[in-house]
Structures are given as C-alpha cells and as structure tokens.
Amino acid sequence: MKVLLIAEYRDGKLLGSAAELIQFAQLLNAESAMVLVGSESALPAYGGTLYLADVQQAGEFNPSVHKQLILEVVEKEQPQLVVLPHSSYGWDLAPRLAMALNAAQVSEVVEVKDGQLVVPACNAKLRRTVKPATGISVVTLQAGAFTPPNGDVAGTPNLVKLDASPNGDIQFLGYEAAEATGVDLTKAEVIVSAGRGIGKPENLAMIEALAKALKGEYGASRPVVDAEWAEHSRQVGTTGQTVSPKLYVACGISGAIQHLAGMKKSEFVIAINTDKDAPIGEVADVLAVADLKQLLPVLTEKLAG
C-alpha cells in the first residue's frame, strides 16, 4: 500500500500534524510520500520523498492551486490513500481532491482497526467502521488520534520541487490574530468550565462562585462562548485555549472532541453531568451524575465553610 501525506504549513511554520500523518502511514505499514506547500526553511523530520512547492509562489491558502499540485503528485505516485489532517486546511481541501479523483472521502479517522478506518458519529457517541468502494480514497485524521508514541520522528526528506501558478479562485487577504485581551487560562491551576448544560447565562454565576472557592478561573465550552455568555478568551478547546491545570471541573459539558482536545492534559478532571454516557466521561477521573444547578451551590458552600 502507498499513501500520500499532505502536510500543513501556516504563517512561516510547519504544523505538528505532519508527525501524525507519518505515524498513520507507519501504522498501516504503508510506503509514503509527502506534499508540502511551504518553505525549505521549515521541513518535516521525514525520511521519504517530499514534494515541495514554494508557499511564496503557490500561496498559503489557495485551495484550487494546492489541489492541482497534489493531483500532479498523485499522478506520479499512484497512492491508494491521500491523507490530510482533519483541520480547517484539511477538511477544506479534502472534498476538492475527492471530487477530482472520483475518490471516496473518509472524514476524521480516529482509529485503524483490523486494517479498516474508524470514524466518529453523533458527537463521538458512536463509531463507524467504513469501507471505501473506490481504488483511491481521501482521508482526514482527527487531531491527536495518531500522535507518535514518544515523539521519535526523524529523517531528512528527499526533496522534489514543484512549480505552481499562483492563480486561484479565492483571494487570501491575511490573518487576524487571536484576541490578546482577557484572562490567560493557560496559567490557571484550577479551571471550572461551563458547558451548554448551564442552561441560561444567569447560571454562569454558579460556575464563577465555584471557581472562586477553588481559587481558580472559570472557563467555557464553545456553545457558551458562541451564545456570548462568556468572552472568547475563556473558551477551552481546539479553537480556543489548550489548558493543563491541576484540576479541571467540567460542568454541563458533553465533551465534544474539540473540547476534549483542549483540556485532556489536565492533571485531574471532575465532570458534573446529568448524562452518564456523555463522552466527557472518557477523560474524567470522576463523573458526578447530577444536575449542576443543584450540586454546585452545595459544593461551593461546603468548600467555603
């Protein structure tokens, strides 16, 4: 089996997902080659053939041009799988490639089981083993699902340069940095986070009170921030902060993968949820099955007393 790995590069840096792509290829015992629209000054630790297009020429976010470059390499390498990270770059590019290659697309692979690809469904409450009916498939990998066990990626790539025309149908106008204002959750030793289960914005006061009783900060999951009940600097997860406090208390948070990615390195996790089967249970040291609106005031009072 041969796989073609598509690494991601942003704002002068190769992203860490490249190592996960390599790990995935090793798990499959597959031959591999890699494509990168990036720069010779930021190459991956990789021992195979790396097809490199200069980002200055091809454009950093220029999907139709990236697609053409990858199609050229597919033509040369004839892989069975084209593999991308399941990121804003990967899930944007994957359907473009799948369409051009008449390929099945398998999104957000979390596991390889007996040689078959497994993906999540229904907010990680179910797992689907899928079977492509096409000779070539386009695959995206869930962030963190294929982290190399001891970070031991090494090697110097054998470079093959690609030429790109900069013409695309989308104009990339630049980046907007994350808001720098607000609280820095990454420094907090205790974080008490509110999820959709708090029900209404007034209940955020209970979360704040518990955070205060534990001498910590309060955080929030995405739905709470999207509803503007909490500011963005308090968001924990893929598109917010990645935190690793001594104690993380998840209140009314079901545990979407994007949230888990932002907090699973916490030293100790307590989850408070009415749903015993909520995916947050997978990373919690303790799951208290309770209505947070009843439990939090009692807990806060006892801690203060």
Partner 1 sequence: MKLLVCIKQVPDMESRFKVNAAGDWYQETDLAWRMNEYDEYAVEQAVQLKEQVGGTDLTVLCIGPQRVQETMKKALAMGADRGVHILDPDAYQKDPFAIASLIADFARDKGFDLIFTGLQSQDRGSAQVGGLLAELLGLPSLTTLVDFAYADGTVTGKRELEGGIKAKVSCQTPALVTCQLGLNTPRYPTLPNIMKAKKKELLSIPVADLSPPQNRLTTAALAPPEKKGTGLILEGDPAELADQLIKILKEKTTVLA
**Footprint of partner 1 on residues 56-115 (CB under 8 A)?**
61, 64, 87-89, 91-92, 94-96, 98-100, 102-108
Q: Is 124 one of the binding residues for partner 1 (CB under 8 A)?
A: yes
Q: How far is the CB of 152 from partner 1 (least distance, A)?
A: 24
Q: How far apart are CA 273 and CA 288, in angstroms?
A: 6
Q: How far is the CB of 277 from partner 1 (least distance, A)?
A: 6
Looking at residues 204 to 233 of the shown chain, list those that interact with partner 1 (rule: CB under 8 A): 214-216, 222-223, 225-226, 228, 232
The strand order across the sheet containing 2-6 reads 104-109, 137-141, 81-85, 2-6, 31-38, 49-54, 158-162
Q: Is 195 one of the binding residues for partner 1 (CB under 8 A)?
A: no
Q: How far is the CB of 134 from partner 1 (least distance, A)?
A: 5
Cα 94 to Cα 5, 37, 71, 102, 294: the distances in Å are: 12, 15, 12, 12, 45
Q: How far apart are CA 20 and CA 3, in angstroms?
A: 13
Selected range binding partner 1 among 23-31, 39-47, 158-166, 283-291, rule: CB under 8 A: 283-291
Q: How far is the CB of 227 from partner 1 (least distance, A)?
A: 8
Tell me 42's DSSP state. Answer: S
Question: Interface mask (CB under 8 A) for partner 1, residues 11-50, using x and -?
Answer: x---------------------------------------
Q: Is 268 one of the binding residues for partner 1 (CB under 8 A)?
A: yes
Encoded tokens for 248: 């993380």
**Three-class secondary structure of residue 41 per DSSP:** coil
Question: Interface mask (CB under 8 A) for partner 1, residues 138-177, using x and -?
Answer: -----x-------------------------xxxxxxxxx
Among candidate residues 50, 26, 27, the one with its CA nearest the CA of residue 37: 50
Amino acid letter, residue 117: L
**Three-class secondary structure of residue 261 per DSSP:** helix
Q: How far is the CB of 63 from partner 1 (least distance, A)?
A: 8
Of residues 13, 76, 125, 161, which one binds partner 1 by CB under 8 A? 125
Question: Interface mask (CB under 8 A) for partner 1, residues 242-261, using x and -?
Answer: ----xx------x-------
Q: How far is the CB of 176 from partner 1 (least distance, A)?
A: 4
Give phi and psi for 123, each to the nearest 5: 55, 45
Listed in sequence order, the residues at least 6 apart from 153 whose beta carbon sits closer than 8 Å to its beta carbon are 19, 22, 23, 44, 45, 46
